[in-house]
Structures are given as C-alpha cells and as structure tokens.
Amino acid sequence: MTPVVIGLSAVVVAIRDGEAVVLTVRPKGQSESGLPFGPFDPEGHRTFELALRAFVTEQTRFDLGYVEQLYTFGDKGRDAPLADMGAGAARIISVGYLALAPAALDTHTPGSQWDAWSRFFPWEDWRDGRPAAIAPIESALRAWALASEDASGQRLARARLLFALDGAPWNEERVLERYELLYEAGLAPEAARDRGEAFEADSALESAVGQSMISDHRRILATALSRLRGKLKYRPVVFELMPDAFTLSALQRAVEAIAGVPLHKQNFRRALERAELVEGLGRLETETGGRPAELHRFRREILAARPVSGLSLPLLRD
C-alpha cells in the first residue's frame, strides 16, 4: 500500500511598511524558499490547527493569531520535489491554512523571513498601473497559444481573460488561475523543475514570472491570495491585519496592498462610514510624514450584534 502523509502548510500574511508580506522558510539543502510546513501526527496532535500552530512557532518563533483552513491539495505528483514530511512517504496530502497577523514581527530564526507577495507574483500589483511584468508574459503566452493546434483559440482566450489583454478587464481575485495558466504554458519555473528540466527564459521573462517556491507552495500561496482578495469584500478580515489603533490612510494602504489595486480615497471613506466598522479614538497619529491624522479602531463588538459584510473596493478609475 502506498504510504500517505498528511502535511500542513501555512500562508501567514501581514502588512509591513504598506506592503503585503508572507512568512517564508528555507529548508536545509534547498535553493528555494517555501511556506512553513510540517507533518500531522495523529498520535501526538489533537487537531490540524493545533499542530499547525505548534510547528509554525517551532520553525519561525512566530505565534499565529487568526487562522482559517484554506484548501486540501492532494494531486498526485504535486509534492515534487518532496518536502521533508516523513521518510519513505510516496504521497503527500497537504492541508493549507491562511493566517493573518497584525504585525510582521521579526522571527529571529535562520532561514525564515517575511517576503513581499510581489516577489512571487510580480504581475499581481496594479496599484501604480499596469505592471511591467505583464508585457513579457503576454508575449510568451501569445507564442504558446500560436504554437498549439488549438483551432478554437481557447488558449489565447484564457490568456486575454486572465491577464487583461486586448482591453479585457482585470479581475484581481483570479490569482490562482493566472498562476496555473503560467504553469500549464511552461512559463512558471516549477513546471520545468517538476519535469526534471532547466527553466529557460530571457531575463525579462525570468523576472516577470516571479520567484519559484519548493513543492507546490506557490500554488498554495496563490490560492491564499485569491481567497483573501475575495474575502475582503464579504468579511471584515482586513482588520485582522491592523493594530488596535490605526489611521484610515493606513487601513486603505493595507486594503490596496492585499487587493493590488488603487482605491478612491473619498469613496473608500464614505463606504467605511456607511458600514459603521470603525470609530475615531479622539487621538492623533503625529508620525504620518504629513498632517496629523486621527486614530481609529475596529468596532469588533459589532460582529456579535449583526451580520457584517466586508469592505467596498471603489477603484480609483471609477
């Protein structure tokens, strides 16, 4: 019988200096970084979540706060190269978790660090307009589509839809689909690695497709970003990334860092006021680099009083 190991992977997200960052680890002997991960021990661990919290703290000295289960990844061959989950394991089932932290505290653990999401997904950040990474990706995807015998043009249609080509609108939530298209087209370094081949690309494309990760950890990370971007709109999860007191400008920057799109300041604040999610503390933040700004807090007690939706994302172009 093929042995099966249940692995747990954590996507730990925080905001640092206005950027969305993720906690990564570099296993010994690996040239690529990955997510904190470890095996579930049915004898020693009472629950998946408790096991996850324990080994994340062990690997990074970081204590998790908000955690939710993300997805179960069980495709055969998805664990190449094998993460160190147990001697002789031939099949790894990975349960991914999304964790949100109000501060990117230093881990002080060798091999672990906070990395900007843009390092792994350069094409996902539209805050300053269309990313430069899109151009070489577009050229490579068009060449891939033309090289096929796809008479219906489905490959090119998918590329247009996902990467906002030829005037198509950008949908920030489809992070996973974009990464999987790059993998299918052989444009993700992991695709070549998993076939035992060298990844060949010119410098522009190599930079555009982002940093690879061990195993299928970049796919798990893309799943987490898709989930979090969607959840911003129907649950107030962004406040799990904020300190107890924050300015509205800092809150907007956090939302923009996660969503990867610029927001209209006045419309964002009007939406906050209508939702009654925050209240002023009557104190000023003086270290803003400009005029002092009032500090606010999240009205967490409102969660017990009534159903609460997420935040409106009024795009700047609107």
For 222-254, what is each residue's pLDDT tens digit? 999 999 999 999 999 999 999 999 999 999 999
From residue 290, give the alpha-carbon distance in Å to each of 45, 249, 284, 287, 293.
50, 12, 12, 8, 9
Segment 146-165 shows an average pLDDT of: 88
Q: Are residues 87 and 191 in the same domain?
A: no
Q: Identify the band that residue 54 occupies on the pLDDT scale cut at 50, 70 and 90.
A: confident
Number of domains comprising the chain:
3
Segment 45-71 shows an average pLDDT of: 86
Query: pLDDT by residue (tens digit) across 17-32?
Result: 999 999 999 888 788 8
Q: Are residues 106 and 179 in the same domain?
A: no
Report yes or no on 282 lying in a domain.
yes
The domain that holds 293 is classified in CATH as 1.10.10.10
pLDDT beyond 60 at 84: no
Q: Are residues 258 and 277 in the same domain?
A: yes
Q: What percent of the chain has pLDDT over 70?
A: 91
Q: Would you state the pLDDT for residue 83?
A: 45
Q: Are residues 92 and 218 in the same domain?
A: yes
35 token code pair: 């997510």
Q: Are residues 58 and 102 in the same domain?
A: yes
Report yes or no on 317 lying in a domain.
no
- Rounded Cα–Cα distance for residues 85 and 92 (Å): 8
The domain that holds 222 is classified in CATH as 3.90.79.10
Closest to 15 (Cα-Cα) out of 285, 256, 221, 223: 256
Q: Identify the band that residue 311 occupies on the pLDDT scale cut at 50, 70 and 90.
A: confident
Q: Are residues 168 and 218 in the same domain?
A: no
pLDDT beyond 90 at 156: yes
Burial 274-299 (b: 16+ CB within 10 A, else e): ebebbeeeeeebeeeeeeebebbbbb
Q: Identify the band that residue 74 occupies on the pLDDT scale cut at 50, 70 and 90.
A: low
Query: pLDDT by residue (tens digit) across 255-269?
Result: 999 999 999 999 999
Q: Are residues 225 and 99 in the same domain?
A: yes
Q: Would you state the pLDDT for residue 202?
A: 94
Report yes or no on 316 lying in a domain.
no
More confident: 303 or 79: 303
pLDDT beyond 70 at 77: no
Report yes or no on 12 lying in a domain.
yes
Domain of 183, in residue numbers = 122-208
Q: Are residues 109 and 8 in the same domain?
A: yes
Q: Identify the band that residue 308 occupies on the pLDDT scale cut at 50, 70 and 90.
A: confident
Q: Would you state the pLDDT for residue 160?
A: 97
Query: pLDDT by residue (tens digit) across 166-216?
Result: 999 999 999 999 999 999 999 999 999 988 899 999 999 999 999 999 988
Q: Would you state the pLDDT for residue 64?
A: 84
Segment 74-94 shows an average pLDDT of: 56
Segment 142-150 shows an average pLDDT of: 86
Q: Would you state the pLDDT for residue 194?
A: 87
Q: Are residues 9 and 113 in the same domain?
A: yes
Report yes or no on 152 lying in a domain.
yes
Q: Would you state the pLDDT for residue 155?
A: 93
pLDDT beyond 60 at 297: yes
Q: Are residues 277 and 218 in the same domain?
A: no
Tell how far CA 96 is from the center of its chain: 12
Report yes or no on 219 lying in a domain.
yes
Segment 291-318 shows an average pLDDT of: 86
Report yes or no on 162 lying in a domain.
yes
Cβ neighbours of residue 63 under 8 Å, at least 6 residues apart? Answer: 53, 57
Q: Would you state the pLDDT for residue 43?
A: 78
Q: Which of 196, 231, 266 is the last residue of a domain?
A: 231
Cβ neighbours of residue 127 under 8 Å, at least 6 residues apart? Answer: 256, 257, 260, 261, 262
Report yes or no on 312 lying in a domain.
no
pLDDT beyond 50 at 82: no
Q: Would you state the pLDDT for residue 62?
A: 80
Q: Are residues 132 and 157 in the same domain?
A: yes
Least confident of 50-64, 76-90, 94-108, 161-175: 76-90
Q: Are residues 11 and 110 in the same domain?
A: yes
